Amino acid sequence: MTDRPVIGIFGAGKVGTALARLLVAAGYEVRIAGSPRQTALDLLVSVVAPGAIVTSPEELVAAADVIIVAVPFGKGPTVPWPRFDGKIVVDAMNYWPPIDGRIAEVEADSRSTSELNQARNPAARLVKSLNHLGYHEMEDDSLPPGAALRRALAVVGDDADARAVIARVIDDLGFDPVDGGALAHGRELEPGHPAFGRELSAAELGVLLTPAATRAA
């Protein structure tokens, strides 16, 4: 991987295209793949995310060093997880019953949703990030390095090197990266938990990502 990885985005909705705009503006090569049901995807992306390259899922996986999964959680199984061996994969999804419907197996499972996705391909270098702010906030809240009151975004995952790569990407996007440790800590970034949807500094977000058992020790 070079210093500036090629980024592939699964999902050409509001989150995927907002990320594509920020990444292209930051100097990244961006590949994007949408739903097979989306028509005129090249035209759409040329208008809402100029500079991003529309490609097939197969070509995206082959070209990308980092893959961002930004589809609705319920559509997660349609993503080609078996092809992600060795790839750094960012889980930017949230389980959201108003959109996904109630999924009993997810609600009954004590694991974070990212741990469930990791189980789809244990050979993927999965991290959780980019999920705990709204797509409309991504561009509004992005600030250059060193700016005061910069918003923090967390990166959690079991692969420390993968976390470091995504932390650099987040910094380039205009946010302060916070290393949140193990993938299980991604639970704190999900809807219904204190870090979700809040504009926090790096110090404030770091406290929320510390497991409760550790804070009480």
> Residue 86, Cβ neighbours under 10 Å: how many?
9
| Strand duo 7-10 + 66-69: pairing | parallel
Length of the chain measured in residues: 217
CA 187 remoteness from chain centre: 14
Along the 217 residues of the chain, how does pLDDT read in single tens digits?
A: 558 899 999 999 999 999 999 999 999 999 999 876 666 888 889 999 999 999 999 999 999 999 999 999 999 999 999 999 999 999 999 999 998 999 999 999 999 999 999 999 999 999 999 999 999 999 999 999 888 889 999 999 999 999 999 999 999 999 999 999 999 999 999 999 989 999 999 999 998 887 543 433 3
Paired tokens of 17:
């295209």
In terms of Cβ atoms closer than 10 Å to its own Cβ (0-12, 13-18, 19+), residue 47 is exposed
pLDDT of residue 169: 97
98-126 burial: b if 16+ Cβ within 10 Å, else e: eebeeeeeeeeeeebbbbbbbebbeebbb
pLDDT of residue 211: 57
pLDDT of residue 209: 84
Per-residue pLDDT tens digits for 173-184: 999 999 999 999
What's the CATH code, domain 7-216? 3.40.50.720
Model pTM score: 0.93
The rounded distance, in Å, linking the Cα atoms of 127 and 114 is 8
> Residue 142, Cβ neighbours under 10 Å: how many?
17
Q: What is the DSSP letter of 128?
A: E
CA 92 remoteness from chain centre: 3
Smallest CA-to-CA distance from 109 within 101, 98, 117 is with 117
Contacts of 198 (CB under 8 A, 6+ apart): 132
pLDDT of residue 12: 93
Contacts of 186 (CB under 8 A, 6+ apart): 91, 112, 113, 114, 115, 128, 156, 180
pLDDT of residue 217: 35
